Amino acid sequence: MTGWNYDMVWTIRNVGVATWNTNEYYIKWLGGSDLGPNHTYPLAKNVAPYKTVEIAVDIQIPTNPISDLQVTRWGIINDNGDVFCKFFHAIPSTYPAPTKTPTAKP
C-alpha cells in the first residue's frame, strides 16, 4: 500500500572462487525505480565460495497510487568496482492505504 516501508531480502550464493569480504564488496542501487532512502549497503558478512548471504535493502512505497510497474535494480560491487551480480525487486502497482472507519460511542 502507498507509503509503506519494508525490508526486501534476497538470499545470494557465492558461486565463484573469491571470498566476498565486507571491506571491499558492497551492495549498490543500479537504477530503475528509486524506492529506497539508501543507495548503498555493506555486505552483512564475509561470504566464502559456495556460501550464502542475506541482502536486505529498505523499500519505501511511493505515497501516491501508481498503476505502472515499479522495478528497482541492485547489484554487488566487487573489489575492482565492477558489478558482478544483479538482482531486482518489482512492485506491480500501489493503492491507497485503508483509512480507519470511525465507530460510534455507546
Residue 13 domain flag: yes
Residue 96 domain flag: no
Residue 68 domain flag: yes
Distance between CA 63 and CA 2 in Å, rounded? 5
User: What's the pLDDT at 4?
Assistant: 84
Contact present, 10 and 104 (Cβ < 8 Å): no
Residue 103 domain flag: no
- Whether the per-residue pLDDT at 98 is higher than 90: the answer is no
Residue 100 domain flag: no
Q: What does the pLDDT look like over 60-94, one tens digit per residue?
A: 988 887 788 889 999 999 999 999 999 999 988 77
Residue 98 domain flag: no
Three-class DSSP category at 37: coil
Using CA atoms, how far residue 53 sits from 27, 38, 91, in Å, is: 12, 19, 23
Q: Which residues pair with 57 in a beta bridge?
A: 8
Domain with residue 48: its CATH number is 2.60.40
Residue 36 domain flag: yes
Contact present, 75 and 12 (Cβ < 8 Å): no
pTM of this prediction?
0.83
Q: What does the pLDDT look like over 29-69, one tens digit per residue?
A: 999 999 989 999 999 999 999 999 999 999 998 888 778 88
Total domain count for the chain? 1
Section 10-32 average pLDDT: 96
Distance between CA 10 and CA 77 in Å, rounded? 16
13 is in which domain, residue-wise? 5-91
